[in-house]
């Protein structure tokens, strides 16, 4: 008797995990570009959308400073602490390793004591502005996946702009403005990321959140909040990644917003301690950065699951008969139809949109509207090769999928119960009733306990079972 009960408990817990994770259990990681499957014609390739894993992108960048001689130490200088003008025992000397503060120290391993950092020369030419541009270049398009975090060893600047480029530094657009007084510095109303909505996600804001305070260590970071913007579509804990990927898939402007080739940090006014500048002791005012974090992945247009760094350059290892640094074109012998980026949809493997041999099929060109949203009316919706209808659906004249009972969506990829008030008790790929339905009495006893323990256990048991 004990063994069947244990199996039932396991089944019920599995059902709970599946229901409470929802997309977490069904949404793909896009870590495979293809796999071999058996069909009526024998062993063949099944192609999927794929992308490289996210990584620390500071390992692959080139940093440049403008003006180039702005780093301290040539000639040697002695600096005073901002909070104590009489503590003047910090020396910078470019010719002494222990006293030098070159720009590469913004990207070395943190955790050492004392910390390492880059430092500018002091504000010795006051009242002329102390302006510094720090440019991070990858010579490759990358997609940001986590917050950009800049940690200052000095006080945080009172005015700063974070900018991005999508064309290798030829043109720049602001990402975010930072100031102690946004109205005075940039004639902009002060906002925070919490003021942004789905409809205003692409708006550029000025925030005062990261420019005040200069003494405490935990007040020395400046952020550009990527995950908070993701959460507008994926939910507070990013559980509904399907919604986010769906938006990225169909709205080009949104995907471009999180894509860069270069970042530029424009330091426009150093910390002054919210007081008047002490012209008799200008060695108190400077910039110093101990760490910059940029996490992301190579942009490969969902045609590669790895990116290599060779000869100081990043490049996608392209699949799906594509080529180029971003897998942005078809190989010469595979131009049977126009190149297209892969698609995150349908769940969970996406659509590879592989390039096909020259002798196969007509050239199909995808039409994209001025808003950046794919117009599916002038391209085929489904076929029997790469755009297959899911869950037993039938493709009618390449224009629509005729879905079987219980499924809906462009490619029949969604269970119809997802749109109903109660949701789905099992997954869209589950044809059998949930274990909860077979044991209502036991479910009534265990459900309150499971829901109580869920916040603790879901982070371990459920998430581990879906990896």
Topology of domain 55-298, CATH: Jelly Rolls (2.60.120)
Inter-axis angle of helices 241-250 and 226-234, to 10 degrees? 100
With a CB cutoff of 8 Å and minimum separation 6, the contacts of 80 are: 86, 87, 88, 90, 281, 283, 284
- pLDDT, tens digit, 9 for 90 and up, residues 280-308: 999 999 999 999 999 999 999 999 999 99
User: For residue 328, what are its two tokens?
Assistant: 């942005």
Q: What is the mean pLDDT of residues 97-103?
A: 94
**Domain 385-413 in this protein, CATH class:** mainly beta
- Give the pLDDT of residue 75: 93
- Give the pLDDT of residue 463: 37
User: For residue 55, what are its two tokens?
Assistant: 């990584």
With cut-offs at 50, 70 and 90, classify the pLDDT of residue 114. Answer: low
Q: Is the pLDDT of residue 458 over 80?
A: no
Say if residues 350 and 33 touch (Cβ distance below 8 Å): no
With a CB cutoff of 8 Å and minimum separation 6, the contacts of 432 are: 426
CATH 2.60.120.260 range(s) for the chain read 55-298
| Predicted structure pTM score | 0.73
- Give the pLDDT of residue 384: 62
CATH 2.10.25 range(s) for the chain read 385-413
From CA 107, how far away is CA 60, in angstroms rounded?
Answer: 10
Q: Is the pLDDT of residue 361 over 60?
A: no
CB atoms within 10 A of CB 39: 8
Going by C-alpha positions, the residue among 3, 5, 1, 2 that lies closest to residue 438 is: 5
Q: How many CA atoms lie within 13 A of 297 on its CB side?
A: 19
With a CB cutoff of 8 Å and minimum separation 6, the contacts of 202 are: 253, 254, 257
Q: Bigger pLDDT: 122 or 381?
A: 122
With cut-offs at 50, 70 and 90, classify the pLDDT of residue 259. Answer: very high
Output the average pLDDT for the chain.
Answer: 80
With a CB cutoff of 8 Å and minimum separation 6, the contacts of 170 are: none
- Concatenate the DSSP letters of all residues of 232-278 into one string: HHH-TTS--HHHHHHHHHHBHHHHHHTEEEEEEEEEEE----SS---
Q: Bigger pLDDT: 382 or 363?
A: 382
User: For residue 344, what are its two tokens?
Assistant: 């995150």
| Angular region, 317: left φ>0, alpha ψ -120 to 50, beta rest | beta
Say if residues 330 and 320 touch (Cβ distance below 8 Å): no
- Give the pLDDT of residue 261: 98
- pLDDT, tens digit, 9 for 90 and up, residues 364-385: 444 433 333 333 347 567 766 5
From CA 60, how far away is CA 290, in angstroms rounded?
Answer: 18
């Amino acid at each position: 008797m004990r063994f069947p009960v244990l199996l039932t408990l396991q089944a019920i817990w599995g059902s709970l995990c599946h229901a409470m994770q929802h997309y977490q259990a069904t949404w793909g990681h896009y870590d495979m570009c293809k796999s071999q499957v058996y069909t009526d014609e024998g062993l063949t390739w099944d192609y999927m959308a794929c992308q490289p894993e996210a990584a620390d992108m500071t390992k692959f960048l080139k940093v440049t400073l403008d003006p180039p001689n702005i780093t301290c130490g040539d000639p040697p200088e002695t600096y005073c602490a901002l909070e104590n003008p009489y503590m003047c025992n910090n020396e910078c000397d470019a010719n002494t390793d222990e006293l030098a503060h070159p720009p590469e120290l913004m990207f070395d391993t943190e955790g050492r004591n004392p910390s390492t950092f880059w430092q500018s020369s002091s504000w010795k030419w006051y009242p002329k502005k102390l302006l510094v541009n720090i440019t991070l270049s990858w010579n490759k398009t990358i997609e940001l996946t986590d917050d950009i975090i800049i940690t200052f060893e000095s006080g945080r600047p009172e005015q700063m702009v974070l900018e991005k480029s999508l064309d290798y530094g030829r043109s720049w657009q602001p990402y975010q403005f930072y100031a102690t007084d946004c109205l005075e510095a940039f004639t902009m109303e002060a906002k925070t990321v919490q003021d942004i909505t789905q409809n205003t996600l692409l708006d550029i804001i000025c925030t005062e959140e990261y420019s005040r305070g200069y003494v405490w260590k935990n007040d020395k970071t400046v952020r550009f909040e990527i995950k908070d913007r993701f959460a507008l579509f994926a939910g507070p804990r990013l559980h509904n990644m399907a919604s986010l990927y769906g938006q990225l898939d169909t709205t080009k402007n949104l995907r471009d917003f999180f894509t860069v080739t270069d970042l530029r940090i424009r330091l426009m006014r150093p910390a002054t301690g919210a007081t008047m500048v002490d012209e008799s002791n200008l060695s108190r005012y400077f910039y110093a950065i101990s760490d910059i974090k940029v996490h992301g992945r190579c942009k490969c247009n969902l045609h590669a699951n790895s990116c290599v760094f060779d000869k100081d350059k990043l490049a996608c290892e392209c699949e799906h008969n594509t080529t180029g640094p971003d897998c942005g074109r078809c190989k010469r012998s595979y131009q049977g139809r126009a190149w297209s980026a892969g698609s995150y949809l349908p769940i969970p493997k996406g659509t590879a949109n592989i390039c096909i041999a020259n002798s196969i099929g007509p050239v199909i060109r995808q039409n994209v509207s001025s808003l950046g949203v794919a117009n599916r009316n002038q391209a085929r919706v489904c076929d029997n090769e790469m755009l297959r209808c899911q869950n037993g659906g039938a493709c009618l004249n390449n224009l629509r999928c005729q879905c079987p009972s219980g499924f809906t969506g462009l490619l029949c990829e969604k269970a119809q119960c997802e749109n109903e008030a109660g949701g789905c008790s099992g997954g869209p790929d589950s044809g059998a009733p949930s274990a909860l339905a077979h044991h209502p009495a036991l479910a009534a006893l265990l459900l309150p306990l499971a829901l109580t323990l869920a916040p603790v256990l879901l982070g371990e048991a459920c998430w581990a079972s879906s990896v």
